[in-house]
Structure 1
Amino acid sequence: MNNKKVQAEIKHSHCVYLPDFELPANCCDCHHHIFDRRYPYSADDKRNLPNATVSEYGEFRDWLGFTRHVLVQPSSYGTDNRCLIDALQAFGPNARGEAVVTDATSDNELDVLSRAGVKGIRFNFGAGSVTTPEMLLPLAARVAERGWHVQVHANASQLWELRSLLRQVPGRLVIDHFFRLPQPQPKEHPVWKLAWDLIDSGRCWVKLSALYHQSQRDDVSDMAGMVKTFLNEATERVLWGSDWPHPNLISANKKMPDDALILSKIFHWASNDRIRHKLFVENPAQLYGFNASSSR
C-alpha cells in the first residue's frame, strides 16, 4: 500500500465532482471513520490503514455542506475507543459516536462513552471483529437500557445466518450499508424480505452508505432501483452515510469513489424535499439525539 498516494486520495477524492445540490440545514453524515496513528491499532490488525484525521474529515464535511455527523469505531482499533472519544471531543456537539465493546466492557466504561457522545455500539462481522454473535443479545439488552442502538455490519449471507438474533434484538437496530444486498438482483436474495420484516417492526433503520460495496459501476447508477425503494417505502427508517475515508477500498487497493457524485445520486433519488429532510435531518436527529440547538 502506497500510504502517501492513499493519503492524497483521502484528502482530494471528494473534489472530482462539483456538487449540483444544496443539502438541507442540519444535514447529517451518519457513517464515517477517523484513523489517527497516534493511537495504536490492535495487535491483530492486518490492514495498516493510513491517517484519516479530524481536520481532513472537517474539510470533507465542509465541502459537501453538512454539519452533523456520526463517527463509527473502525475495526482497526478493536475495543480501544480512545481515538473515537478524543475525536468526538474535538468535533464538539454536532458529532455522535458508535463504539465497539464486548461483554467484558464495564458499566463505567459505557458511562465514559455516553458522556463522550456515543449513542450506539457496532458489531462488524465483515472485517476483524472482536465481537461475536453470542454477544449480540446480551450487549443489546445492556445498551437498550441507555437508549442506545445496536448497529450491525455483515454481508447479506451473514445477515441471513443471523436472522433469528436480529429479530430478537431489544431496542433499536441499525443495519449498515443497505444490508449488503447483492447486485444485480437484490430483491431475489432472502435478506430482502428480512430487511422489510425488520423495518416494518418500527425499530430498524437502514444506512444507505457505501453503495460501492455491491455496485458494479463507478457512478453507482445500478443501485438506483433498490435505493429508491428504501427511500419511498421506508422513508421513516433511512439514513445516509459517506463511509469516509472508505477503508475497505483502501485496504483492497481499489479506486476511491467520487463522494460528491454518489451523494448527488442519492439526493436526486430522494425525489422530493420531504424524503430528503427525513433522510438527511429528521431520522438522524431522532436516532442520534440531535436537537434544534445541536447540543448534547
Structure 2
Amino acid sequence: MSQPDSEAPFCLPRLPLTRLPNKPLPQGTIDTHFHVFRSDAPLNTPRSYTPEIATTADWIAFADRLGIGRGILVQPSVYGLDNRVLAEALAAFPKRLRGIVVIDPETSAEEIARLDRLGVRGVRINTRNKGGLPLAAAEKLAAAVREFGWSLQFQINPDQIDDLAGRLPPLGVRFVIDHLGFIPLTDRAWREHLPALQRLADHVGGYIKLTAPYRLTRDRGYPGFAEVVRALVASHPEKLLWGSDWPHTELWSDMPDDADLIDGMQDAIGDPALARKIFIENAEALFFER
C-alpha cells in the first residue's frame, strides 16, 4: 500500500460527460495525452497529488462516447518509475493504445525492447512534479531510445523552453512539448513565449501538444488559448497534437467540462483539413507507424 503524503492533496473527481461536443470529433481521432489509475497500485512518496481513480475501462467508455479511436497513455508522476499500470493497459488494448513511460536512464536495451513490443513509443521527462525525471536525463535517454524510434516527451516550465531549443535538436530523436510548454495565458503573457515554442516546432522532430488550457490560466473561458492555437495552426499545423488530458489531475477547483474543451479547440482550429492533421494524422505518424 502507498504511504500517506500530507503534501499530496486529493484531486477533484472528473465531471461526468453530460453532452457531446457541438461538432463531432473527426472520425478516428487520437487522444495523445491521458492517464489512468488503479486503486491497488502503489503511489510514490513524495508526490505532487493523490489521484482520483480513473481506470483504463473508464477511459475506453469516455473515448467511445466521444468517437475517439485510439490513445496515447502517459505515465503519471505519482507512479514514478513503476510502469505496470500502463503496461497492463497496453497489453489489454494493443491495437488501440500506445504508451509513454518513465524509466531510469540506465535502463537496459533489452528492457526497452520489451516495452517497445508492448507498444511504448516514448519517455517522459517531467520537471514540474515530484517523481518526474529531470532535464539532465535527456541526453542519456535519447541515446538509449534512438534506435527504437521513440520520442522524448517534456513537461516543463516556460523558462526552460529556450534551453530546450538549444539542447534537443542535436539529440537525434523526436520530441514533444506537453501543454504548450505551460506558457502563461493571463494578460497576454503568451506573446513573450510563443516565438520560442515555434522555434522548437521548426525542428524536424519537434511537436507541440495543444492541451490543458486550464493549466495555463485560472481565468474562466481560458482567454488567449484560442489565439495561441490559431497562431500555431497558421505556422506549424503538421507539428501539433491534441490530447484530452483526461482525467484532469492536479486540480482542486474549476474542473473543466470535456465537451467545452473540445468545442473550444475545434472552434480555434476551424479548417476541417487542418483539424484532421491535428486530431489524427500527426499523431498517427508519430505513434502508430508500427
**TM-score for the superposition, normalised by structure 2:** 0.90
Asked if residue 284 in structure 1 is aligned to residue 283 in structure 2, the reply is yes
5+ residue gaps, structure 1, are 291-295
Superposition deviation, residue 138 in structure 1: 1.6
Match of 1:68 in 2: 70
**Matched residue of 1:145: which SS?**
helix
> Could you say what secondary structure the match of 1:168 adopts?
helix
Is the contact between residue 31 and residue 279 of structure 2 (CA under 8 Å) also seen in structure 1?
yes
Q: Show structure 2 runs of 5+ residues with no match.
A: 1-7
Change (3 A) 1:161 1:199: closer
Query: 1:50 aligns to what SS in structure 2?
Result: coil
Alignment of 1:147-186 (within 5 A): 147-183=149-185, 184-186=187-189
Please give the alpha-carbon distance, in whole angstroms, between the structure 2 residues aligned to 1:212 and 1:71. 20
Is contact 1:54-1:90 (8 Å) kept? no
| Equivalences, count | 282
Q: Does 1:13 align with 2:16?
A: yes
Q: Which position in structure 1 is the counterpart of 2:49? A: 47
SS at match of 2:85: helix
Question: Separation in 2 of the partners of 1:124 and 1:215?
Answer: 20
How far apart, in 1, do the equivalents of 2:48 and 2:191 lie?
Answer: 34
Q: For residues 16 and 247 of structure 2, what CA distance do their matches in structure 1 show?
A: 9
Per-residue CA deviations over 1:49-68 (Å, capped at 9, x if unaligned) read 22110111112112221111
Deviation at 1:160, TM superposition (A): 3.5
| SS, match of residue 28 in structure 1 | strand
AA in 2 matched with 1:285: E
Please tell me whether the aligned partners of residues 34 and 54 of structure 1 are also in contact (alpha carbons under 8 angstroms).
Answer: yes
Which has the higher mean CA deviation after the structures are superposed, 25-34 or 102-111? Answer: 102-111
In structure 2, the partner of 1:95 is: 97
The residue correspondences of 1:232-243 to structure 2 (distance < 5 A) are 232-243=234-245
Q: Match for residue 107 of structure 2?
A: 105
Deviation of 1:161 (Å): 4.5
| 1:258 and 2:245 are equivalent in the alignment | no
The DSSP-based 3-state class of the residue aligned with 1:256 is coil
Q: How far 1:83 sits from its partner (Å)? A: 0.6
TM-score norm. by structure 1 comes to 0.88
Identity %: 32
Distance 2:286 2:48 in 1: 32
Moved more, 135-144 or 275-284: 135-144
1:16-48 Cα offsets, whole Å, 9 max, x none, are: x43111122211010000111222112323522
* RMSD over aligned Cα atoms: 2.0
Contact 2:121 2:287 (C-alpha < 8 Å) held by counterparts: yes
How far apart are residue 187 of structure 1 and its match?
4.3
Q: Secondary structure at the match of 2:68?
A: coil
Report deviation, 1:148.
0.6
The question of whether the paired residues in 2 share the 8 Å contact of 1:123 and 1:151 is answered with: yes
- Alpha-carbon separation, structure 1, partners of 2:288 and 2:48: 34
* Deviation string, structure 1 residues 133-162 (Cα, Å, up to 9, x no partner): 221112112212111111100120233444
Counterpart CA distance in 2 for 1:222 and 1:257 is 17
Amino acid at match of 2:51: L
Once the two structures are superposed, residues 47-95 of structure 1 have per-residue CA deviations (whole angstroms, 9 ceiling, x without a partner) of: 2222110111112112221111100000011111111000112233111
SS at the partner of 1:157? helix
Contact 1:144–1:171 (CA under 8 A) maintained in structure 2: yes
Verify the 8 A CA contact 1:205 1:239 in the aligned structure 2.
Answer: yes
From 77, 80, 86, the counterpart of 2:79: 77
Q: CA deviation at 1:218?
A: 2.9
The reply on whether 1:24 has 2:23 as its aligned counterpart is: no
Deviation string 1:171-205 (CA, Å, 9 cap, x unpaired) is 2010000121112324442x422212221122100
Take 1:136 and 1:204, find their aligned partners in 2: how far apart are those partners? 14
Are positions 1:219 and 2:221 aligned together?
yes
CA distance in 2, matches of 1:223, 1:90: 35
Q: Which runs of 4+ in 1 moved over 6 A?
A: none
The C-alpha deviation readout for 1:107-133, integer Å capped at 9, x for no partner, is 122112111101111001110144222
Counterpart of 1:93 in 2: which secondary structure? coil
- 2:134 aligned residue: 132
